[in-house]
Structure 1
Amino acid sequence: MPFQELLDQVGGLGKFQILQMVLIVPFLVMTACQMFLENFTTVIPGHRCWVHTLDNDTVSDNDSGILSPETLLRIFIPLDSDLRPEKCHRFIHPQWQLLHLNGSVTNMTEPDKETCLDGWVYDQSSFPSTIVTEWDLVCNYQSQKSVVQSLFMAGMLVGGLIGGHLSDRFGRKLILRWCLLQLTIVGTSAAFVSNFHIYCLLRFLSGCSSIIILANDGMLITEWIRPPSRVMVITVISCAFSVGHILLGGLAFVFREWRTLQLVVSVPFLVFFFSSRWLVESARWLIINNKPEEGLEALRKVAYTNGMQNAGDALTMENHMGRRTTQTLFMFLVGLSVLVNTFVPQEMQTLRVALASVGISCAAASVTSFGVHMLELIPTVLRARAFGLETVASRCGATLAPLLMMLMEYLSILPWIIYGVSPIIAGLAVLILPETRNLPLLDTLHDVKNNKEFSRKVNEINSFVKVTKF
């Protein structure tokens, strides 16, 4: 009996699937916090060079009643083109004569400056500490800040490749639990390290774990879902990811010290590790990996939990338009919003924000649609590997996108034209792929061979139903 028929008998969207999602959704929310943690832990606060007279606590106030700190700052720190204190230089010698200048003097010789040899003083009004203030990642060392973010993304790339293979080989649940434990250890350890290079290594390992958690969470949910309900479930997964973004902002507002925030978003994974023991391994994976008894036991557990009741159908725009049409439509709208916004004047901020909001919304919708389509195109035996390759492609895109901004040297709007045209072309390319709407998930390579014929028959049935209703 095909697995789809077994799933229909035990319940394709019932109490079991809901409980499975309740367990997994928190994993997704907190993993999103881990992925975007550097948005807050690597904030560069306002800073200037450390000055002995101003910042040494053992030095007297130097007649501070006569000279205010702002006045003393003008003596020791040069001003930039915006007449603000420079962030990376100080005067070699105090420039007392500047106190007597009411305006700029064009013929005045520029005083000798030097870099911040004694460190920096940071504005701690918003964030008491970040990894930037911890390891002085500013001025000549500012590029090292990007290293942390790049290493996390590199970890996701490596984890996508390795994790996909391991998940197809050893199972979704086992690898998921291992990564939950690994993320607990490396994430918590990162909150206590005092060495920048060790911190970078731990964030790399966090990236490896995070992407595997995301992929296996998705598979442990969707491989238990009937086709009519799959779109709704994947939409919930996407919403959980967005909730993680919102939650991270709230946590960063409450816990503004970077070590505390790092700890807060890492410790919950220990709870997730213990709660994951109640997850049920994918029966699809068990059956096709010659573990029919374990697969049957999992199906019995699902049938018992669901009370053998069938779930109702979930109607969405996707079960009406199809996977290919939906992706093409949304990606076309993404590209169109970027292209239109490119030529809207800067003064029309309301229109620009509206177009950007439409573009982001359509991009999120296209990602959800892509997740559904990819899930249904790839058989169970290769699904985790495919998710790994998808991760590699997305990381390459994330790496390439900022580099395109260098094309502004030749034409200011050229990068934005590329950003707008690319999704339109990609959306048209989706039409080459086969339609998978209302088709069961593929399990083996043999199913892939039969999919084309099965798809044709389903389309014929759908057409007949539509004509009859008409």
Structure 2
Amino acid sequence: MVHYDEILKHVGEFGTYQKRMCFFAFLPSLSVSMHMLAMAFLAATPEHRCRAPEAEALAARYNWTEPELLNRTIPWKQDDEGRWVRDSCKRYDLTTVGLNDSYGNRSDWNVTSCDAGWMYDLSQYKTSITIENDIVCEDKWLASMAQAIFMLGVLVGSITFGALSDRFGRKVIMFVANALLGITGIATMFAPNFTVFVILRFVVGAQCMGIYLTNFVLGAEIVGPSRRTLVGTYDYVFFTLGYMLLGGIAYLIRTWRHLQLALSLFSILWISLWWAVTESPRWLLAKGRTGEARAIVEKMAVTNGVDFPHSLWEKMLESKDKLVETPGNGRFYSARDLLRTPNLAKKSAVLFYNWAVLNMVYYGLSLNTSALGGDDYISFFFYGLVEFPALLMSIVVIEKWGRRAPHVMFMVVGGLACICTTFVPSDLFPLTMTLAMIGKFGISAGFNIIFIWTGEIYPTVIRNLGMGVSSMCARLGGIVSPFIALLIDTWKPLPYIVFGGLSVIGGVLCLMLPETLGTPLPQTLEEAENYGKVGSLLCPAVGLKDDPEDRKEADSHDVLLTHPDSQRSFETEL
């Protein structure tokens, strides 16, 4: 039986045509990352203090200086490091204080909440959704809720657009999602209140995953089996470029509505790529549209400088090759099969935990750069930049030392670095930033490895299903992440201790997973149950070595994903 992958091997697995296609198809990933991380600036919370109208009137009458006004309106408190700072959420009630007492002992003065609103430090952010709606102090949790609802939209989008792309095609759905992202993104700019803003952000989140899901699958389906992991990495590079680009745009545009507009206009630009991106030939073949598929493959062969394989094409059509072939005699597999047997259930639990923690910590660190101190824009930019060496190193080390040891190292070192930031004095910001960067480095590298490792641990019959459930666990981690960041109000170092501690636990748990480098991948549930079953609890036996070519051929239909926000349409099977 001739499979479509044989055609790709003949015309070129990653030739000029595929490189050009992937470049154009992945450009919208720039918009995806910018919208995914935009809340770092859209909902920025600058320094603030209570507004006291009666004090401002008195200051104008008696020519109080700014320090005198602050002394008469804002009480002092001690922060977590024992320093005295102005309270951001309390003020003195001057209506109960006589003017002659204003120079006396203020310990007896009545303290009240900011019932007249707040005044904000606009030196860094001119406006934000939190400034316009006073989402601070006791209402601070609303900003975290907005981000959680956005991540819920990402989850809904991954399921919805997976089914739509299977039915209507990768290209059509990608551009529909892109157009809707532009429309809803621009509409968000005009949100009249916080409720409408949150609803529109939910829709934006769904469109983001619609784009990233379909353009990744489109890219993976036009390249040969040996280049699919590379293509996933290629898409991740565009996501990271968008990450850093967001920092630069936000630096230039300090008002949230104009920033939202600027990010959304990119989607309008990507509409012009319709003529540069073609439909997936693999999807066309699955739908019986062989004529259209052949035209694209013929163009692919011409661009790559090879002859079209007429005989192979005819043999493929004669064999009635299917898009996806999995052993199992027609059996339908469900999520319960991931937990049906003890060893597989143990591995699934460890993988699910790691996916949830990695996504939680990834967005927890990325969206809370202001908690480190220093310049928010510079910190955000370098947080994105560090992902490039993290990705490169993870790819190099897993091919030399396997999956388990590097992943454990990245998770533990990254987690410990996050925890160590809490013990650095605030005046040593360079050291704090360095430790935070090491933490982000470890988490980014760990995410790349867990994608590849998960696809190798699950057997062929449930590999896509396992990746889908794992990715859904990641979404749940993303939903929880902003609420963990709120722990900063309880104790400033607490969020980093939680993020770091969960990462260390995840790394240690991965010692229970088998090494997969150079081993034959399991094909059935029985093989998966026995995979890594022999050996100690923390060091499962490594599978038998096999021929890399045999392994590649046996697993030629599987796509290994390489980014926290990419997942295939297999989620629709759940």
Q: TM-score range by the shorter chain?
A: 0.7 to 0.9
Task: Kindly report the root-mean-square deviation, in angstroms, between the aligned alpha carbons of the 2 structures.
Answer: 4.1
2:443 to 351, 354, 363: 363
Report what 2:246 is aligned to: 248
Q: Residues 343-386 of structure 1: CA distance to partner in whole angstroms, max 9, x if unpaired?
A: 79935978876665455334323433444566789999999887
| CA-CA distance at 1:433 after TM superposition | 10
- Bigger mean CA deviation after superposition, 332-341 or 1-10: 332-341
Equivalence for 1:394: 474
Q: Could you report, residue by residue, the CA deviation over 1:405-443 in whole angstroms, capped at 9, with x for unpaired residues?
A: 98x99xx87874442121342364364799579x9xx9x
Is 1:225 matched with 2:229?
no
1:61 aligns to what? 60
Q: Secondary structure at the match of 2:108?
A: coil
SS of 2:282's partner is helix
- DSSP-derived class of the 2:7 partner: helix
Is the contact between residue 424 and residue 431 of structure 2 (CA under 8 Å) also seen in structure 1? Answer: no
Instruction: Give the corresponding residue for 2:513.
Output: 429
Displacement, 1:228? Answer: 3.5
Report if the CA contact (8 A) 1:156-1:208 is conserved: yes
Partner of 1:332: 408
Count of equivalent residues: 435
CA contact (8 A) 1:322 1:436 kept: no
1:153 to 1:111, Cα distance in 2 relative to 1, 3 A: same
Closer, same or farther: CA 155–233 of 1 in aligned 2, 3 Å: same
Larger Rg: 1
Q: Which whole-Å CA distance do the structure 2 matches of 1:361 and 1:91 have between them?
A: 45
SS in 2 for 1:329: helix
Question: What are the within-5 Å matches in structure 2 for residues 159-178 of structure 1?
Answer: 159-178=157-176
Equivalent residues in 2 for 1:194-213 (5 A)? 194-213=192-211
Correspondences of 1:31-430 after superposition (within 5 Å) = 31-53=32-54, 61-64=60-63, 67-81=64-78, 83-93=84-94, 95=97, 96=99, 99-101=102-104, 110-308=108-306, 326-338=402-414, 340-341=416-417, 342=419, 346=423, 357-372=437-452, 389-400=469-480, 416-426=500-510, 428-429=512-513
Give TM-score, length-normalised by structure 1: 0.78
Report the Cα distance in structure 2 between the residues aligned to 1:214 and 1:255, rounded to whole angstroms: 26
Check 1:191–1:380 CA distance in 2 against 1; reply closer, same or farther (3 A cut): farther
SS in structure 2 at match of 1:29: helix
**In 2, Cα distance between the equivalents of 1:280 and 1:50?**
57
| 2:33 and 2:243 in contact (8 A); partners too | yes
Question: SS of the counterpart of 1:263?
Answer: helix
Matched to 1:397, the amino acid is: G
In structure 2, the residue matched to 1:466 is: none
- Kept in 2, the 8 Å contact 1:152–1:207? The answer is yes
Give the match's secondary structure for 2:14: coil
Bigger Cα displacement from structure 2, 163-172 vs 355-364:
355-364
Q: TM-score, normalised by structure 2?
A: 0.65
Q: 2-side partners of 1:261 and 1:360: how far apart?
A: 25
Task: Return the offset for 1:461.
Answer: 6.0
Shift of 1:308: 1.8
Give, as a single letter, the amino acid of the residue that structure 2 aligns with 1:75: R
Mapped to 2, the partners of 1:344 and 1:51 lie a distance apart of 36
Alignment check: 8 A CA contact 1:75 1:99 kept: yes
Gaps of 5+ in 1: 311-315, 464-470
Secondary structure at the aligned position of 1:48 is classed as strand
Equivalent residue, structure 1, for 2:21: 20
Counterpart CA distance in 2 for 1:215 and 1:287 is 20
Whole-Å separation in 1 of the counterparts to 2:462 and 2:284:
14
Distance in 2 (CA, whole Å) between partners of 1:117 and 1:188 is 33
What fraction of aligned residue pairs are identical, expressed as a percent?
25
Residue type of the alignment partner of 1:360 = K
| 8 Å Cα contact 1:283/1:299 also seen in 2 | yes
Tell me if the contact between 2:403 and 2:516 (Cα under 8 Å) persists in the aligned partners.
no
Structure 2 gaps, min length 5: 309-391, 532-543, 553-574
Q: Is the 8 A contact 1:187 1:263 kept in 2?
A: yes
In structure 2, how many angstroms separate the alpha carbons of the residues matched to 1:322 and 1:44? 40
- Cα drift, residue 193 of structure 1: 1.6
Would the alpha carbon gap of residues 347 and 139 (structure 1) be closer, same or farther in structure 2, given more than 3 Å must change? closer
Question: Against the structure 1 CA distance between its residues 29 and 404, is the aligned structure 2 distance closer, same or farther, given a 3 Å change threshold?
Answer: closer
Is the CA contact (8 Å cut-off) linking 1:324 and 1:430 kept in structure 2?
Answer: no
Equivalence for 1:313: none
